[in-house]
Structure 1
Amino acid sequence: MKGLSVLLQKEWRENARNFKLYWIPIVFVIFGIIEPVTNHFLPEIMKSVGNLPEGSEFTWPQFRGEDIFVSLMGQYQLIGILIIVLAFMGSISGERKSGTATLLYVRPMSFGSYFLSKWIVVNGIILGSVWLGFFAAWYYINILFNPVAAGDVFAFLATYSLWIIFAVTVVLSFSAWMPTGGTAGLSILVLIVLQVIDSVIGAFWTVSPWKVATYASMMFSSITNQSGFWMSIGLTFVLIVVLILFGINMAKRNAAKTTV
């Protein structure tokens, strides 16, 4: 594709200039550190500030390291997704509105290269941030809790990374399709609201992109429904490809709406 390497460099420099390359990993790492540290010291904190009656006992569940990984994933499922949406909802629509895209559209480039350059760089930033966050948590988990097997951790991260890629693809394809505000609203609906719905009534089905995070957490024990796991993985891969093609088409179709 025309100019993909040039566009990749442009996206990388742009994310460095607006500091997304720096603050996003820092946020994920901070949450990765806070989760195990907080869960380790929380019983002592509650005892000291809980104002419990004299003689009463405060019991706190004994967490394993695997539980902390799953708990941190729950934080990323909300806060992490919001970061993805808020940081990148204007990746394409914002360039159309500001007129920046005009400088690109007049050059000999393909819209496939344009969309994929953003997709590759944003996924690199977010996946790197998520992995750094979990690695920071892993370090403190091994100190404060029990050691967690590396094979389980990497299987968990690989599976959860697919959900992150899906989330990034949703945001970027919607950004190519809609204005920035619409991208934010629809992305939150698809990635957070439908996730909540799936957690509430999702027992009636086993195959869904919103199940991927759940299956990731099962890497620390065992996946009882192997067919549902692999079908969810396959469906998510297919949807990612479809959303990429949709985003490329929408970026091309909406190029005429660019502010001049």
Structure 2
Amino acid sequence: MKQFSILMQKEWRENIRNYKIYWVPAIFILLGITEPVVNFFLPQILQSSGGLPEGAVFEFPTPPPEQILAAVMEQFQTIGMAVLILAYMGTVAGERKSGTATLLYVRPLSFPAYFLSKWVVASAISLVSVWVGFLAGYYYTLLFFDRVEGMELFQMVGTYSIWVLLIVSIIVAASAAMPNGGLAAAVAFAIYLILQLTDGLFGAAWSISPVKLPQYAAAWLADSPDSGSLTGAIGIAALIILALLVFGSWISWKNKAKTKV
């Protein structure tokens, strides 16, 4: 436990030095703000862009606030996930390639504590980023459109957080398995795309797929997702996360000999 605490402090200081605790949340806040602001000012943006016939009038139906927040989630699903992959693709592989991991590996090291410390910090920053991003989107949705019940927002973001933890687990495990951050990012992107493609092709026959967690999160805004399907999806996601933590710890130990000296 003491070693895990020390490794956590090291990882936290590292994320402060490389400013991840600042720029990752900042990007998610920007993504959260963009959707309601653009939708609200869209008529003015089109008019100021020019090229429209004189006297032309375009009437845009006011989108419901639930639709705005669902669109915010879509931004997180594309740009947001890419940001997390790029932010944490080198969390393990980068240390091995640069040789800084040698300072740790020459000492008695618990690799489960080593990997878990990186996963915990990456997960914490990612979850905080997602929550503040949604809160920023909610504030501007409330300002420009209408309110959404606070409990619905909490249920939506809570469900989506499980999905974020799964993606972070894939990213950090890929970083532990690959020799450098670039390959780790490629593997994480490939897994993410394969999951989305597989769910698009066969998801209708498997309601407890963890890939459906974003859909179930958005369903809280309309009514509520099927409780059995949601529970099953969360349970499978938790098992996959646990398996990735075990795999990441093992592969970190296995690849210690590949550290640059």
TM-score by length of 1: 0.94
Distance apart, 1:178 and its partner CA: 1.3
The alignment's C-alpha RMSD in Å is: 1.7
Aligned residue number for residue 185 of structure 1: 186
Are 2:35 and 1:14 aligned? Answer: no
With over 3 angstroms needed to count, the CA separation of the structure-2 counterparts of 1:218 and 1:183, relative to structure 1, is same
SS at match of 2:121: helix
Does the Cα contact within 8 Å between 1:2 and 1:108 map onto a contact in 2?
Answer: no
Distance apart, 1:107 and its partner CA: 2.0
- 4+ aligned runs moved over 6 Å, structure 1: none
What do residues 2-48 of structure 1 show as CA deviations (whole Å, max 9, x unaligned)? 50111111001111101111111111111111111111111232244
Aligned residue number for residue 164 of structure 2: 164
Distance across 1 between alignment mates of 2:102 and 2:50: 59
Aligned residue number for residue 129 of structure 1: 129
Kindly provide the amino acid, as one letter, of the partner of residue 108 in structure 1: P
Aligned residue number for residue 93 of structure 2: 93
Distance across 2 between alignment mates of 1:50 and 1:201: 45
Distance across 2 between alignment mates of 1:178 and 1:69: 36
What do residues 131-152 of structure 1 show as CA deviations (whole Å, max 9, x unaligned)? 1111111111111011110000
Gaps of 5+ in 1: none
Distance across 2 between alignment mates of 1:193 and 1:36: 30
Distance across 1 between alignment mates of 2:139 and 2:215: 23
Are 2:36 and 1:36 aligned? Answer: yes
SS at match of 1:3: helix
Deviates more, 1:106-115 or 1:196-205: 196-205
Deviates more, 1:158-167 or 1:199-208: 199-208
SS at match of 1:100: coil
Aligned residue number for residue 194 of structure 1: 195
Does the Cα contact within 8 Å between 1:111 and 1:248 map onto a contact in 2?
Answer: yes
Kindly provide the amino acid, as one letter, of the partner of residue 191 in structure 2: V
Distance across 1 between alignment mates of 2:59 and 2:70: 21
With over 3 angstroms needed to count, the CA separation of the structure-2 counterparts of 1:192 and 1:60, relative to structure 1, is farther
Gaps of 5+ in 2: none
Kindly provide the amino acid, as one letter, of the partner of residue 95 in structure 1: E
TM-score by length of 2: 0.94
Same amino acid, percent of matched pairs: 45
Kindly provide the amino acid, as one letter, of the partner of residue 217 in structure 1: A
Distance across 1 between alignment mates of 2:188 and 2:160: 18
Does the Cα contact within 8 Å between 1:33 and 1:133 map onto a contact in 2?
Answer: yes
Matches within 5 A, 1:46-57: 46-49=46-49, 51-54=51-54, 56-57=56-57
Distance apart, 1:226 and its partner CA: 2.7
SS at match of 2:62: coil
Aligned residue number for residue 236 of structure 1: 237
Distance across 1 between alignment mates of 2:92 and 2:257: 13
Aligned residue number for residue 258 of structure 2: 257
SS at match of 2:101: helix
